[in-house]
Structure 1
Amino acid sequence: MPARRIVISLTERRLHLLEEGHPPRSFPVAIGRPGVAIPLEDSRVLRKRRNPTWHPTANQRRENPALPASVPPGPSNPLGKFALDLGWTAIAIHGTNDPDSVGRRASGGCFRLLPADIATLFEMVPVGTPVRVVSGPAIVPAPQPAIAVAVPAALPTLTPPPSPLPTVAPPPLPILPDPRCATAGAPLRRMICTMPDLAALDGRARGLHQRHLAALPAERRDAAAYALLQEERRFDDRITARCWVRRGMEEDPAVAAAAEACLRDALNVRLEEAKRR
């Protein structure tokens, strides 16, 4: 089995980067729209292109005569900033200038990734990396269990060991509900507010932030509160794009489930960061 390989699951609409001895990486992808043939077989990365030029196929230009013969690198280029050409004609793994399409059946046959994800993948994948497209879920190897190490028995002691100190449970993390939940309109905030486990993760991070503010000197509190507010807005913008949270996604259960899992991971990371403040 190759040390590093790519598996694309059409059912999951995700690209999995698998590498022996390393945890798997997974990225959402857009796949071919209904009616577009998608090869279910093996290929490999034949070429890597940075700032690629897009050349619409003859079929694409027949369907849309307004398409130019080529589109140079730039914000209007549908390939984005990076492309990995595969062994199939006119099919590549590439970025996009339409992030909302990621996670959907929206492409002409290629596999689109979010701009940040294709930038990561481009640096990690060499030419020659095997690529497999499967219709069902990708089989991602489970983490290897820890190896038990035998510990020699302790030598008998002449004096009894001291009594252990009583265990004191850490205080529960405070949960501060989001006051915006009553009027939440943005898809990400609405998703957090309507799912109890996500709301709890968000509320714990919010409670820790409030505890942090309360411990600051009064003269620093307002500036710190404003900084936290700006940080939360950046978090919402970043995770909305990364987890492809959008209106109407609940119509596609696979997309909604993937967005929920992505958001849960992001909120867990945010909570751990709040604990370290």
Structure 2
Amino acid sequence: MDRTDAEGSGAAKHRIVISLKERRLHLLEDGREARSFPVAIGRPGVAIPLGDTVVMRKRRNPTWHPTANQRRAKPSLPPAVPPGPANPLGRHALDLGWTAIAIHGTNEPGSIGRRVSSGCFRMLPADVEALFAAVEVGTPVRVVAGEAPAPVAVAKRTEPPPTPVRPAVAAVPASVPVVVPVVVPVVVPVSMPAPAPVPIIPDPRCGTATAPLRRMICTVPELTALDGRARGLQERFLAGLPAERRDAASYALVQEERRFDDRITALCWVRKGTEDDPAVAAAARNCLRNALDGRVEDVTRRVAELGGVTAVTSRR
């Protein structure tokens, strides 16, 4: 049975901005740093609404009702799909003001970040659960074609700066010449120190890893280096943060790592016991190589979002 939350809370404390170009949902929260989540968007040929709407309804364990168009395209679809592993909405859905458009979870985590939906915005299960808990009915939602406007944050209200008081200037007789000193700037050459190399930090789970994909990452040197570089970027960033910000940033990066594990499990799946097949192993290594290259880039971007500045090439 659907559970619906329909009560609003008056003035919105949050805003949601979805960037189709970035394929990310930005949650802007009053008094907090903005959060950003990857999303899947409408597949090519599907009209994706742009502009402003609001969260009209929140549903836990929603029942999925395929649209008439979806049932015409796939007559085998039932009139309704109850909550469970076969439900494409996942466990949380936020219905928007546009007909049949929602922000929801998914039972296909490998689709996140791609153009595959029928118009809705899919999120990873952990991400949509966090969004569901944070926002309320009535929360404004804006969908933009380009990148989300910068800065992606809800600005705190501040008092205008005081008007500067000009000091009194004594009148100078017209017969007295005014001499204006000329200041010649002195340019001092500054040499910028080279950035510190990114440490390669091995996965501490390697000693007990049993999943085929994780064992492959731990034993193939190229994959180990890519995985360790992403972890090194995170650790170097966290080490440079003040203590009061470190816990929140560490939690955000752990969540990103969990989402990555979900993604490679869906994209690079290997049936246990078949990893010794040369063809299966080669396909899995290639899939993991591409995913880990993207992982380094994602960590670099996420560190920048959290307040760090770093640059790294995916292969070095």
Query: TM-score under structure 2 normalisation?
Result: 0.54
**Partner residue of 1:98 out of 108, 111, 114:** 108
**Partner residue of 1:119 out of 124, 129, 132:** 129
Aligned match of 1:193: 225
The alignment partner of 1:7 has SS state of: strand
Tell me if the contact between 1:8 and 1:132 (Cα under 8 Å) persists in the aligned partners. Answer: yes
Aligned partner of 2:99: which letter? T
Aligned partner of 1:114: which letter? L
Question: Counting helix residues as a fraction of each chain, which structure ranks higher?
Answer: 1
Q: Following TM superposition, by how much is the alpha carbon of 1:48 offset from its aligned partner in structure 2, in angstroms?
A: 0.5
Tell me if the contact between 1:192 and 1:202 (Cα under 8 Å) persists in the aligned partners. Answer: no
Aligned match of 1:80: 90
Q: Following TM superposition, by how much is the alpha carbon of 1:125 offset from its aligned partner in structure 2, in angstroms?
A: 0.6
Partner Cα distance (1:19, 1:237) in 2: 23
Aligned match of 1:214: none
Tell me if the contact between 2:230 and 2:299 (Cα under 8 Å) persists in the aligned partners. Answer: no
Q: Tell whether 2:28 aligns with 1:18.
A: yes
Tell me if the contact between 1:32 and 1:108 (Cα under 8 Å) persists in the aligned partners. Answer: yes
Partner Cα distance (2:123, 2:138) in 1: 20
**Partner residue of 2:64 out of 54, 61, 73:** 54
The alignment partner of 2:133 has SS state of: helix
Aligned partner of 2:36: which letter? S
User: How many residues get paired?
Assistant: 210
Aligned partner of 2:28: which letter? L
Q: Tell whether 2:272 aligns with 1:240.
A: no
Cα displacement string for residues 58-94 of structure 1 (whole angstroms, at most 9, x for unaligned residues): 0000100010100001111000000000000100000
1:241/1:251 Cα in 2 relative to 1: closer, same or farther (>3 Å)?
closer
Percent of counterpart pairs with the same letter? 53
Tell me if the contact between 1:99 and 1:241 (Cα under 8 Å) persists in the aligned partners. Answer: no
1:136/1:203 Cα in 2 relative to 1: closer, same or farther (>3 Å)?
closer
1:23/1:189 Cα in 2 relative to 1: closer, same or farther (>3 Å)?
farther
Partner Cα distance (1:199, 1:123) in 2: 29
Tell me if the contact between 2:230 and 2:296 (Cα under 8 Å) persists in the aligned partners. Answer: no
241-250 or 62-71, which deviates more: 241-250
Partner Cα distance (1:16, 1:189) in 2: 36
Partner Cα distance (1:56, 1:101) in 2: 19
Structure 2 segments unaligned to the other structure (5+ residues): 1-10, 159-195, 207-213, 237-253, 269-286, 307-316
Partner Cα distance (2:21, 2:256) in 1: 27
Tell me if the contact between 1:38 and 1:109 (Cα under 8 Å) persists in the aligned partners. Answer: yes
Aligned match of 1:260: 297
Aligned match of 2:163: none
Q: Tell whether 2:19 aligns with 1:9.
A: yes
Tell me if the contact between 1:243 and 1:263 (Cα under 8 Å) persists in the aligned partners. Answer: no
1:258/1:37 Cα in 2 relative to 1: closer, same or farther (>3 Å)?
farther
Partner Cα distance (1:114, 1:189) in 2: 29
Q: Tell whether 2:141 aligns with 1:131.
A: yes
Tell me if the contact between 1:24 and 1:140 (Cα under 8 Å) persists in the aligned partners. Answer: no
Q: Following TM superposition, by how much is the alpha carbon of 1:260 offset from its aligned partner in structure 2, in angstroms?
A: 2.6
Cα displacement string for residues 129-166 of structure 1 (whole angstroms, at most 9, x for unaligned residues): 0000001110242678xx9xxxxxxxxxxxxxxxxxxx
Q: Following TM superposition, by how much is the alpha carbon of 1:22 offset from its aligned partner in structure 2, in angstroms?
A: 1.2
The alignment partner of 1:62 has SS state of: helix
Compare CA radii of gyration and give the structure with the larger one.
Answer: 2
Aligned match of 2:53: 43
Aligned partner of 1:7: which letter? V
Aligned partner of 1:81: which letter? R
Tell me if the contact between 1:52 and 1:79 (Cα under 8 Å) persists in the aligned partners. Answer: yes
Query: TM-score under structure 1 normalisation?
Result: 0.61
